[in-house]
A and B are shown apart, each in its own frame.
Chain A
């Protein structure tokens, strides 16, 4: 359908009116913005954090949270303390192991018995023999 001059003029007028409307959108005033923001804060206060879906209880919760961490911290500090404390009250032979030279340690072991590892008694050795 051919466009007449009148159609074109009307089209140009409409485009001009649309352009003016685009350039001057009806503004949202400060009072409206304040109401919208107040609604937003009310909804946040009401619902709390919900957006991030939790898959399972989470590592922190599985560890028992802060109460469990209290016990764990106590045990860790106690272990550290024991690790640094000289072997008071520990048997003389074991105490000697801690402080003796490498040569002394070897002298406390009976190497001739192979540390109790007799190859003939292992299942692996038996299977190889059978093969």
Chain B
């Protein structure tokens, strides 16, 4: 039972793998871990702007997923939708505990593109830092909506499901969030290398 054919499991949906996981399948645990942990980690980082905290949240969100697997009801929600919601709730708790101060900018990681030269690398990092700092300054719900829409690339109906609000409310949050980001970053356009465009 533990040696499910990997070739087949690669095609299985997250929801089907949840059933196998709850039935004790070790391969399902491994596939869900490698498939979903990066998603959860990336999202937690965008909401928190801090790698260590994001790792804690990612692990906690995945632990909650494992614990709910036995009660998972097929067809009710996508696993990723549920995870995005859990990550957002855990991040909100974490932000409230640490106050509204964003993390220090040196928490923003080094860029990872090995093909870049030193100057390009510095500019890539400056841009990543600037975006994350502007995201950190947004109200939580605006930040969540902007990240889900523009970085995770989800559609408004799915975001509405994750945030448990109407699609109109999603549109309003993303529009206001994007305007605020633009206002925060417009003055840094030249500094970030967009002045000559």
Contact = CB atoms under 8 A, between A and B. Distances in A.
A33 B40 CA distance: 11
Contacts of A20: 124, 127-128, 131
Contact of A14 (B23, B41, B182): B182
A12 B197 contact: yes
B37 interface: yes
Interface string A80-109: 000000000000000000000000000000
B185 interface: yes
B58 A52 contact: no
Given A35-B59, A37-B30, A43-B63, A28 B70 contact: no
Nearest to A12: B197
Interface stretch (A3-11, A61-69, A70-78, A116-124): A3-11
Contact of B186 (A10, A16, A37, A40): A10
Q: Which 9 A-B pairs have the closest CB atoms?
A: A51-B22, A25-B42, A26-B45, A50-B70, A28-B41, A40-B29, A43-B66, A10-B182, A18-B150
Interface of A: 6-7, 9-14, 16-18, 20-22, 24-28, 32-33, 35-37, 39-41, 43-44, 47-52
6 contacts: A17-B127, A21-B131, A22-B153, A26-B45, A32-B37, A33-B33
